[in-house]
Homo-oligomer: A and B are copies of this chain.
Amino acid sequence: MYFHDKRLQYPVKVDNPDPVYARALQQAIGGIEGEIRVCLQYFFQAWGARGPSKYRDLLLETATEELGHIEMLATAVAMNLEGAPISEKEEVAKDPIDGAVLNGMNFRHILSTGLAALPVNADGVPFDTSHVYASGNLAADMFANVTAESTGRTLAVRLYNMTDDPGMKDMWKFLIARDTMHQQQWLAAIEDMGGIEKMMPIPNSFDQAEENQDVNYTFMGTSRDGSEPVQGRWSSGKSMDGRAEFKSEAMEPKGEEPKLSPPKPGGGAQKEQMSMVQQGVEIAKNALS
């Protein structure tokens, strides 16, 4: 269960409120690279964790931290909206980039929240929880977490670069640093379980002898002209898991053209899709019904 402290994890200050930047900040709240996502993702991974309890504990610690990051960003949005125009006639501070503030705002900051944050992204699209990756496989989840923190830190850097506000820059210095650590810690968790080599292929509990041995370490190309696919670390040398040698080849069809049966009578197709026999059956059925 959970507890709160009314104070923020780190100070949030806005020197020059900027309602257009508030729209940009929404990406870090409700975007797929944002904080609601990592918060719920780590919680659901923790709540469903089967196996050694330390990974569950690890996930709970950081999930709980992330909840505080949503709070910081929601506060930052509300502070950037202080004094924002709410009508077309209102006298507005000049937009630093020579356009109209109102045009560049998310109107729902005016219409739906009265100048506060929304759980949506920078385009106003609500977050949906299909982005909560919690697969029941700890290694897959740790890679999902590294990914989330990598796209998350990329987003944070972009938002840091977008603004000149000293308060906002200071907040981002903190959050970028936390993303650095979170990238590290999920990679460390993989090492804690034995390291990338031992973890792969994921899931490592499936007997690799059952998979098709012709294609499991072959890089395949799809160039129309059948030329050799692009070469790199992936096309020759030892595989990353150390279990095989990479090779590469141009792909060719091994299957046949698929043949489906004609539609089932009574199934709502057109007569022209049916075989002659089927059409007869259909006519007879109709005559009898």
Contacts and interface: CB of A to CB of B under 8 A. Distances in A.
Interface in A128-184: 128-140, 143-144, 146-147, 150-151, 153-155, 157-164, 173-174, 176-181, 183-184
B9 A254 contact: yes
Interface string A9-28: 11110000010110110010
A188 B240 contact: yes
Contact of A114 (B187, B200, B269, B272): B269
Indicate the member of A147, A158, A210 with the most B CB atoms within 10 Å: A158
B138 A273 contact: yes
A19 to B, nearest CB: 11
Among A87, A104, A118, max chain B CB count under 10 A is at A87
Given A114-B267, A120-B129, A131-B130, A96 B89 contact: yes
How many copies of this protein are present in the complex? 6
Interface string A98-128: 1111111011101111111111111111111
A154 B140 contact: yes
A36 interface: yes
Nearest to A185: B234
Contact of A61 (B48, B189, B222): B222
A97 B108 contact: no
Contacts of A67: 1-2, 43, 67
A138 B2 CA distance: 25
A124 B143 CA distance: 24
Contact of A157 (B116, B192, B206): B206
- Report the contact-size class of chain A (Cβ under 8 Å from the partner): 35 or more
Given A4-B60, A8-B1, A108-B27, A203 B132 contact: no
Contacts of A181: 215-220
B97 A1 contact: no
A82 B261 contact: yes
A8 B256 contact: yes
Contacts of A274: 51, 205
Q: Which of A74, A225, A260 counts the most B-chain CB atoms under 10 A from its CB? A: A260
Nearest to A7: B253
Contact of A4 (B2, B70, B106, B216): B2
Given A5-B253, A183-B202, A273-B138, A177 B111 contact: no
A187 B177 contact: no
B136 A115 contact: yes
A223 B4 contact: yes
20 contacts: A2-B5, A33-B112, A44-B117, A47-B74, A51-B273, A87-B162, A88-B97, A106-B123, A110-B162, A111-B159, A112-B122, A126-B129, A140-B147, A144-B150, A153-B206, A161-B266, A184-B240, A184-B241, A193-B272, A194-B272
